[in-house]
């Protein structure tokens, strides 16, 4: 009997059978599973706020840092107006102003002037809410709002509408005033000052306008031959630095100095003309303050050399 029990015990602890009957180990491993599940759950709950925290900061567009390019615009004539007549908010002007407002202003300021337009949702500072009487940059009168439309507001998304006919801008202002309900009115003197400041009765012609980048490209292409010549002249000047000591004393950028001198012949006539011409553009013209320390003989030598190189 005892021999049978010993044999049974040996069979119970026979590790050779572990792989064949893994279910027998479940009772030993089961508590560890429970421990891991409970520990993981406690960690998750205790760190729930940090786990769900958005690590990426929201992108807010600051319109004061936006680089806005000038639009292409053909020359336009702004007709003169009778300010006293269009300063009166007639039903016709208000109706016309509403159409113009919806076409040009509502995308930022909203159809009802609350500053909730789709295009203005990301602007900082946000578009003006015309129903809010506080915080107006230029004021709420007809003359104040006209100034805004004429000049724009620096540091915001409010662009200038100086190309728009004066009568149309007055119409837009009358419509905005109709949304506001209560607004301060201009005196006759203030309207006269507005007329004089912007010459509204005379009218004017706005010139063509192209983007700055395009203008720079055109100017660069037009001056490319002169720039290439200046670079070639600059190399000659640089090569002769060891021979003519005044070059090192007076010139900081040979290419720029050569280009500056190539734009005029006045400096060739005498030392005084040379010194005066260089002084006008110094230091942006490629010369440096050491130029003033040159002796008269050094000035003569430098001028003669440069006149021979730059032709």
Q: What is the pLDDT of residues 94-121, one digit of tens each?
A: 999 999 999 999 999 999 999 999 998 8
| Phi-psi region at 203: left, alpha or beta (left = phi > 0; alpha = psi -120 to 50) | left
Indicate the SS3 state at residue 99.
helix
CATH class of domain segment(s) 65-206: mainly alpha
CB–CB of 191/143 below 8 Å? yes
pLDDT category of residue 15 using cuts at 50, 70 and 90? low
- pTM beyond 0.85: the answer is no
Q: What is the pLDDT of residues 17-48, one digit of tens each?
A: 555 565 555 555 666 667 777 777 777 666 66
The residue ranges of every structural domain in the chain are 2-51, 65-206, 212-309
Beta-carbon contacts of residue 113 (< 8 Å; ≥ 6 apart)? 129, 130, 131, 176, 179, 180
């Amino acid at each position: 009997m005892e021999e049978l029990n010993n044999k049974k015990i040996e069979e119970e602890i026979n590790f050779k059978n572990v792989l064949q009957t893994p279910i027998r180990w479940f009772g030993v491993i089961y508590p560890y599973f429970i421990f891991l599940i409970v520990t993981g759950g406690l960690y998750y709950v205790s760190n729930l706020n940090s786990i769900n925290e958005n690590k990426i900061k929201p992108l807010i567009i600051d319109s004061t840092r936006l680089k806005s390019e000038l639009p292409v615009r053909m020359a336009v004539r702004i007709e003169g107006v009778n300010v006293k007549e269009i300063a009166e908010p007639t039903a016709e002007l208000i109706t016309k102003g509403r159409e113009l407002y919806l076409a040009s202003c509502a995308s930022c300021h909203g159809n009802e002037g609350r500053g909730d337009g789709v295009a203005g949702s990301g602007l900082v500072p946000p578009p003006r809410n015309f129903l809010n009487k506080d915080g107006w940059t230029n004021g709420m009168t007809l003359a104040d709002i006209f100034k805004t439309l004429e000049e724009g507001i620096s540091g915001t998304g409010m662009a200038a509408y100086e190309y728009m006919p004066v009568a149309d801008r007055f119409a837009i202002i009358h419509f905005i005033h109709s949304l506001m309900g209560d607004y301060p009115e201009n005196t006759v003197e203030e309207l006269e000052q507005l007329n004089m400041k912007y010459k509204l009765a005379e009218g004017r012609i706005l010139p063509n306008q192209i983007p700055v980048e395009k203008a720079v490209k055109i100017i660069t292409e037009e001056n490319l031959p002169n720039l290439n010549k200046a670079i070639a002249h600059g190399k000659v000047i640089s090569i002769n630095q060891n021979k003519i000591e005044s070059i090192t004393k007076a010139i900081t950028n040979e290419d720029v100095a050569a280009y500056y001198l190539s734009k005029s012949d006045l400096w060739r006539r005498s030392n005084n003309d040379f010194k005066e011409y260089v002084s006008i553009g110094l230091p942006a013209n490629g010369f440096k303050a050491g130029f003033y320390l040159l002796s008269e003989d050094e000035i003569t030598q430098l001028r003669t050399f440069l006149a021979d190189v730059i032709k």
